[in-house]
Structure 1
Amino acid sequence: MISIQAYNFNQAQAKIDQLCHLLIDSVAQGASIGFLPPLSQAVASTYWQAIIGDLQTEQRILLVALQDDQIVGSVQLDLPSKANASHRAEVQKLLVDSQFQRRGIAQQLMHQLEQQAQAQGRWLLVLDTRQGDKAESLYRKLGYQAAGAIPNFAQAADGATHTTIFFYRELEHSV
């Protein structure tokens, strides 16, 4: 049974080793999420420490998917603080452990993320992903619209560059 929880600073700090494992696994599996393999524990830990710091300022929401007490997935919602951005948020780093993929966990995380966004008054969500990745089809299935693509945006470990597609989705909201 998978449960989805929003983690606060203390919860995330207590599970930093599991979060690092999730990130390292995702990068090793070829996820285009800003890192290149092999990703070290030290680099992963530095990344998560920065994210955990954002949880204290309430500019970020971290959702984790748990099986028993083990983190098997996560996604983040970055909440811009600019005055003209109080209606939008950016979806970041949707990760599912390679041993738990194809079980609907990413979809569960995204549905919960959208509910969290609405609870924060955020109804326009934006994100980006590498063209052709399985994430692209997931986002389309969930109702995200392609806004455009930039060729050669992200570099892979082999030096090849790939197109990145930017998506958006407007959630239900009152005017």
Structure 2
Amino acid sequence: MTVRRLEAPQLRSAADELADLLTDTVADGASIGFLAPLARTAAVDWWRERADAVAAGHLAVWAAPRDGRIIGTVSLAFPGKPNSRHRAELVKLMVHREARGEGLGRRLLTVAEDAAVAAGITLLHLDTETDSPAEHLYRSTGWTRAGVIPDYAASPDGVLRPTTLYYKRVGTGVDGRLGATDGPRR
């Protein structure tokens, strides 16, 4: 399965396809920051707004195309603070309902983890709805559960649900310290 990184112009061009994936994911009940029903125009706008963050190097987005449409995506968000350049947040891992169970989620996760290592990242973190299908993926790929926050976010149907925080150490650090100019190069 091909997974490709999207630069800002490519992200803008793919916003319609990414919006289809996003609306499908929300319609299926995944708690990824949106309430149902998610209007397609709002989903397109949301993806287009991400292009500036990609151009600035604050966000990296990968997409998995198949048969002329995007069926999966994952992103890494890089914090801008000097004391946090060693970490990134894994965000918006989505797989279209029609492509689930084929290993695409695991493939997208591996791509993001490998890219994080290549960028000098040594710590990844994420949050996901507690007891969601995504939790199995993270646990089975070596992510460590850090804790649960009750009533953290509303599910697409508006019900407050707990969120589980996970982290994963990736890459290697020299001594666990960042110097004044050290940190990942993006």
- Cα 1:83–1:106 change in 2 (3 A) is same
SS at match of 2:147: strand
Corresponding residue number in structure 1 for 2:32: 33
Corresponding residue number in structure 2 for 1:8: 7
- The share of aligned pairs that are identical, in percent, is 36
Corresponding residue number in structure 2 for 1:65: 64
Corresponding residue number in structure 2 for 1:94: 93
Deviation at 1:97, TM superposition (A): 0.7
SS at match of 1:31: coil
- Cα 1:158–1:6 change in 2 (3 A) is closer
Give the aligned CA root-mean-square deviation in angstroms: 1.1
The CA distance in 1 between the partners of 2:156 and 2:71, in whole Å, is 24
The CA distance in 2 between the partners of 1:17 and 1:125, in whole Å, is 29
User: TM-score scaled by structure 1?
Assistant: 0.95
The CA distance in 2 between the partners of 1:77 and 1:17, in whole Å, is 20
The residue identity in structure 2 corresponding to 1:79 is F
The CA distance in 2 between the partners of 1:73 and 1:159, in whole Å, is 24
Indicate the larger mover: 78-87 or 149-158.
Answer: 149-158
The residue identity in structure 1 corresponding to 2:59 is R
Gaps in structure 2 of 5+ consecutive residues: 175-186
CA contact (8 A) 2:65 2:71 kept: yes
What do residues 112-133 of structure 1 show as CA deviations (whole Å, max 9, x unaligned)?
1011101111110000000110
The CA distance in 2 between the partners of 1:158 and 1:174, in whole Å, is 42
The CA distance in 2 between the partners of 1:86 and 1:121, in whole Å, is 9
Deviation at 1:157, TM superposition (A): 4.2
The CA distance in 1 between the partners of 2:56 and 2:113, in whole Å, is 20
- Cα 1:156–1:8 change in 2 (3 A) is same
The residue identity in structure 1 corresponding to 2:155 is A
SS at match of 1:107: helix
Deviation at 1:156, TM superposition (A): 2.5
Indicate the larger mover: 106-115 or 8-17.
Answer: 8-17
The CA distance in 1 between the partners of 2:68 and 2:113, in whole Å, is 23
Deviation at 1:68, TM superposition (A): 4.3
The residue identity in structure 2 corresponding to 1:29 is D
Structure 1 outlier segments of 4+, above 6 Å: none
Corresponding residue number in structure 2 for 1:79: 78
Indicate the larger mover: 65-74 or 2-11.
Answer: 65-74
SS at match of 1:30: coil
The CA distance in 2 between the partners of 1:119 and 1:48, in whole Å, is 25
CA contact (8 A) 2:35 2:157 kept: no
User: TM-score scaled by structure 2?
Assistant: 0.90
Corresponding residue number in structure 2 for 1:150: 149
Residues matched between the structures, number? 174
